[in-house]
Amino acid sequence: MILALLLLGAAGFLHTFDPKNETPIVKPLAGLPDEIGRWKAGSDLQISDRELSMLGMDDYVFRDYHRENAGINFYVSYYGAIHRDKGYHSPLNCMPGSGWGIAETSRISLELPDGTLVRVRLMVLERGSQQQYSLYWYQCRSRIIATEYRDLAFRLLDSIRYGRTDGAFVRLIISGTEDSATAMEQLKDFASQAIPILEEYLPGG
């Protein structure tokens, strides 16, 4: 109960956060490499002007990567500040709205190339007989954050200490792989390579 009240207060504070305190991205996300580990880029997908206006992000990349018979859709949206006029759209709300049901969610550990362990969130998606696997996380001010509540807590702290609420939402969806163990291995492989690369594009802590 106390935690819920604290988070509610944090949300109210951030709702009124001064939008002038924007932190610019270090490098445009469109410049992300065409190869991430063994994954090679295919086409960049475009978001319509109407959707861009609704989502309100300051930069994004929406790109397919391929390896052998598998494909990963890589989506990153960056916000120079989160406030009442713009902010993340949680996939826990957006995916059901797009026709996919969420069969399962869990937090999983991921080892980065330098040995650092981070936690990200797994979603198992279902639509009729179809099933997809997805990982997502918030990459904010040199942190990897697996849940919306932890992101909100860190945003509150950093807004008070540094006047910053900038950050990126990152989401991967794999296709072409029906075996769940293989899908997870490939998702984790891509994510572990992508996280340190993204750190070169996003403002640090």
Give the total number of structural domains in the chain. 1
Whose tokens are 């509540």? That residue is 149
At residue 33, the pLDDT reads 97
Residue 181 maps to a domain? yes
DSSP secondary structure string for all residues of 11-59: HHHHHT--TT-----SS-GGGS-SEETTEEEEEEP---HHHHHHH--SE
Q: 56, 39, 38: which is closest to 47 by C-alpha?
A: 56
What confidence score (pLDDT) does residue 7 get?
Answer: 44
Of the candidates 156, 138, 158, 140, the one whose C-alpha atom is nearest the C-alpha of residue 148 is: 138
* Residue 204 lies inside a defined structural domain of this protein: no
Q: DSSP secondary-structure letter at 152?
A: H
Q: Does the model's pTM come out above 0.85?
A: yes
Residue-by-residue pLDDT tens, the chain, 205 positions: 444 434 444 445 554 555 457 899 999 999 999 999 999 999 899 988 888 888 889 999 999 999 988 999 999 999 999 877 777 777 777 665 567 788 899 999 999 999 999 999 999 988 888 888 999 999 999 999 999 999 999 999 998 898 899 999 999 999 877 788 999 999 999 999 999 999 999 999 7
User: Is 72 within the bounds of a domain?
Assistant: yes
Classify residue 101: in a domain, yes or no. yes
Which SS3 state, helix, strand or coil, does residue 197 take? Answer: helix
Q: Whole domain around residue 15: which residue ranges? A: 2-199
